[in-house]
Amino acid sequence: MKFLPSVHLPCHPWMAMVILPLLLLLVPLAAAQWSSCSKSDDYKSNSTYVANLSLLSSTLPKKAASSTTLFATSIMGNFPDIVYALTLCRGDSNASACESRVTTAFQDLLRLCPYKKNAAVYYDPCMLKFSNKNFLATTTVNDPLFIVNTKNFTTNADITQRLLFTLINSMAQLAANSLRRFTTSRLDVGSSPTLYCLMQCMPDLIPHDCESCFQDILNSTLEYLGGKQGGRVLGTRCYMRYEMYPFFQGDPKLRIINLAPHVPTINNTTTPATVYPQSQPPDAAPPPEGKVTVQEHNGRKSHKRALWIIVVVATLLSILMCFICFIVWKRRKGKVSINNQA
């Protein structure tokens, strides 16, 4: 078999120039992120606040990556353009991945919350928040709080509440007393579904404050996620995720085999939260602050429609470019044959 040299396929650069940008558009659509933007406190494009944000974006990712807990806070500038920032990477992340993700988080926040002084973004592997107000001084406020859920269990609702209570209640103290304020678990109780869970606090919290934060996570979980096969409760100071499949690196640090006998009464003073279905586009515009809402299916359908349009267009362009290459190759081959005969 004889392979054609690259000089016979001059249209390959055209294909790369057209198709690669389209394929790169798939990356932000696939990224799992949930953002929150303030409704006021705007800054101008040429302001000192922008300069301070720029300095933070170049220093905070490295600061987090160099920390043994992959956690960092920073304060940049002076009033009225002072910026407070906090970031944390998940306990099973590594330093290089952490630095890269926090860098991306800054870029995404500037895109998702343009000219907003107060903004936060949550990913699976990390979170980032910055503000012109000193939220770093308050270790007990866990907002903005996002709830992300999946489809319902087929198991009895009372049993699923007990499963979730057992899971989070068993992990809280272990996570709160660890160096990274982080732990993972696997729950295997009889014939009930196997659940995997991850919980983490900001490492600057003392164990007592971390456990208190997890208590709020537990209340929110029982209120919003009861009966769900998987879900996340994402906050500035602590968060939790559980699924029916392993989703974290390494083996679970805790195995739970006994179910709690009952679920105590849920505290009705849970922090107001924004609730998303898990397949909802995570970068959709957030609803008004302080209100509990459930995003409907319209946004989800729009997300899928955009994804399919990009895939179809990229595929059609690939076929077109290949056809053009084939025609060019045939013509060049014909010219070579005529020259050889001459």
pLDDT at 334: 65
Is residue 259 within 8 A of residue 163, CB to CB? The reply is yes
| Averaged pLDDT for residues 251-276 | 83
Hey, what are 33's tokens?
């992120």
Is residue 175 within 8 A of residue 181, CB to CB? The reply is yes
Say what the pTM is.
Answer: 0.72
145-256 carries CATH number 3.40.640.10? no
* Count of Cβ atoms closer than 10 Å to residue 54 Cβ: 13
Residue 327: pLDDT over 60? yes
Nearest C-alpha neighbor of 181 from the set 208, 163, 218, 147: 208
Measured CA to CA in angstroms, residue 81 lies from 60, 111, 208, 308 at distances of 18, 20, 34, 43
Alpha-carbon distance 11 to 329, whole Å? 10
- Confidence grade of residue 22 (pLDDT, cut at 50, 70, 90): very low
pLDDT at 268: 62
The domains spanning 31-131 and 145-256 adopt the same CATH topology? yes
Is residue 184 within 8 A of residue 135, CB to CB? The reply is no
- Confidence grade of residue 282 (pLDDT, cut at 50, 70, 90): very low
Alpha-carbon distance 269 to 272, whole Å? 9
DSSP letters of 68-92?
TTSEEEEEES-TTS-EEEEEEE-TT
DSSP letters of 309-341?
HHHHHHHHHHHHHHHHHHHHHHHHHHHHHHHHH
Indicate the SS3 state at residue 303.
Answer: helix
- Domain spans of the chain, in order of start: 31-131, 145-256
Is residue 73 within 8 A of residue 56, CB to CB? The reply is no
pLDDT at 17: 46
- Confidence grade of residue 311 (pLDDT, cut at 50, 70, 90): low
- Confidence grade of residue 138 (pLDDT, cut at 50, 70, 90): confident
pLDDT tens, residue by residue, 225-246? 888 889 999 999 999 999 999 9
- Confidence grade of residue 221 (pLDDT, cut at 50, 70, 90): very high
pLDDT at 133: 94
Residue 317: pLDDT over 60? yes
pLDDT at 252: 97
As a whole-number percent, the residues of the chain with pLDDT over 90 amount to: 52
pLDDT at 204: 94
More confident residue, 319 or 128: 128
- Confidence grade of residue 213 (pLDDT, cut at 50, 70, 90): very high
> Which of 138-147, 266-275, 279-288 is the least confident region?
279-288
pLDDT at 171: 97
Alpha-carbon distance 116 to 286, whole Å? 13
Is residue 86 within 8 A of residue 70, CB to CB? The reply is no
Q: Where are the alpha helices (DSSP H) in the chain?
A: 12-24, 26-30, 48-66, 95-112, 157-176, 207-224, 297-341
31-131 carries CATH number 3.30.1380.10? no
pLDDT at 313: 61
